[in-house]
Amino acid sequence: MNDKASVSKELNAKHSKILEGLLKLPQNRECADCRSKAPRWASVNLGIFICMQCSGIHRSLGVHISKVRSTTLDTWLPEQVAFMESVGNEKANSYWEKELPAHFERSEIEKFIRAKYEGKMWVAKNAKQPAPKLVEMSISSNKLVEGGATSEVPKKTRRHSLEEAVLSKHLGQSAPSMARSRGISLDLNHKFTTSPPPNGPPSMMEFDTASNKSNGTTDLFSLLYVPDAKQDYPTPPRWQTFD
């Protein structure tokens, strides 16, 4: 499902008002590249507002460098609007044009834009590019917080974690009962020990097994042998024993 399809009309209208307010700020009243008045386009991953001419050049750079959106015609996602709020032209140019000489000639605007963003010609050494803030999760409220915008987490996202919690709780309750039914003691270190045998004289099988263990080998014949004393043979009739 497309992310833009999840943006309602009400939310889209709210985004449009926010963008309109950002364009009225002094630092955003001019194009970030050519300095022309009243820009109506933006690069959502660079956080800058640009004019229509520069937007076409930005499109030619590729989406791996600049993703262009119209502030009035396109549908915006909440994280994109939040990023534009946190950056803007002044903050972005403090990174991209940090070492740009004063009164630099911008007549060949396409070469200027490519040198600025592709070649990073005037970026200061060891400077960090403005990037979208990481999404933070509030476990107690089940809300996503990003760039000052807060939104509820979808139920489908939470369902798996809730099932895991129920499963772990069920296993925690059933483990002691399973240990009792099988004669096994369960400690906190997950070591299993068998319960001691019941009191009483050892059986013939236990005696044979113990003797075999003492000899170090297992005598298969001793397991099959049954003492003659316990076998009841029938007494033959006298005529069979008559000579």
Helix (H, G, I), strand (E, B) or coil at 224: helix
Dihedral of alpha carbons 120, 121, 122, 123, sign:
positive
Measure the CA–CA gap between 234 and 241, rounded to whole angstroms: 13
Measure the CA–CA gap between 184 and 226, rounded to whole angstroms: 33
Measure the CA–CA gap between 132 and 146, rounded to whole angstroms: 9
Give the closest residue to 76 by CA, choosing from 172, 147, 25: 147
Q: Give the per-residue pLDDT at 137.
A: 34
The pTM score is 0.55
Residue 54's H or E segment, with its range, is: helix 52-61
Question: Over its length of 243 residues, how does the chain's per-residue pLDDT go in tens digits?
Answer: 467 788 899 999 999 999 999 999 999 999 999 999 999 999 999 999 999 999 999 999 999 999 999 999 999 999 999 999 999 999 999 999 999 998 899 989 999 999 999 999 999 988 888 877 644 433 333 444 444 444 444 444 444 444 555 455 555 555 555 545 454 444 545 544 455 555 555 555 554 544 554 454 555 555 555 555 455 556 666 655 555
Measure the CA–CA gap between 176 and 186, rounded to whole angstroms: 7
Beta strands in the chain (DSSP E): 41-43, 48-50, 68-70, 136-138, 143-146, 149-152, 184-186, 192-194
